[in-house]
A = this chain, B = another copy of it.
Amino acid sequence: MKSAQAPSAEPLSKARLRVWLKLLKSVNGIETEIRRNLREEHGTTLPRFDVMSALARFPDGLKMSDLSSYLKVSNGNVTGIVDKLTEEGLALRVAVPGDRRAQVARLTAKGRAAFEDLAQHHEDWINTLLEGLSAGNVDALSAHLDSILDRQMEED
């Protein structure tokens, strides 16, 4: 007895490769535009925005190591970015009582205000860039991404 599925002209691995390239192109296009907006309209960068965004979610601050694992970047990376934000008065480091190795990074009031402004514009940019997606499209796309993300959870 034959297989239930029709023979495909293209193996599934090729179709997956093709959709991967399309995924990459979509994300890179949006990311390039966001970086351009951040630079030209706000004189900042995406890594800085990402760090500020993480710190905004944790008003009590985040240990440097928690910040880097949250953002999935190296420890050394966040060191430099927090250094710069601190020089500009947007963030600060606070000693952790009871552990002199650790420090917690926090946004200053100025940093919070700057982030609120950036975040609103960021949402607007994304809303425009994803104009082609209806509410239904968003849900369907989200479900497909979940099946990719599920696999990533497993491997750690």
Interface residue SS majority, chain A: helix
CB distance from A101 to the nearest CB of B (A): 27
| A28–B135 alpha-carbon span in the complex (Å) | 24
Q: How far is the CA of A150 from the CA of B29 in the complex (A)?
A: 11
Residues of B within 8 A of A8 (CB): 135
B19 touches A141 (CB 8 A): yes
Say how far A35's CB is from chain B's closest CB, in angstroms: 13
Binds B, one of A10-18, A57-65, A110-118: A10-18
Distance A25 CA – B142 CA, assembled complex (angstroms) = 12
Q: Bits for A120-132, please: 1 = Cβ < 8 Å to B, else 0.
A: 0011101101111
Q: Is A100 an interface residue (CB 8 A)?
A: no
> Assuming A16-B138, A129-B148, what are 14 further A-B pairs, CB within 8 angstroms?
A12-B134, A13-B126, A16-B126, A16-B130, A19-B133, A25-B145, A25-B149, A26-B152, A29-B149, A30-B148, A30-B152, A32-B72, A132-B147, A133-B148
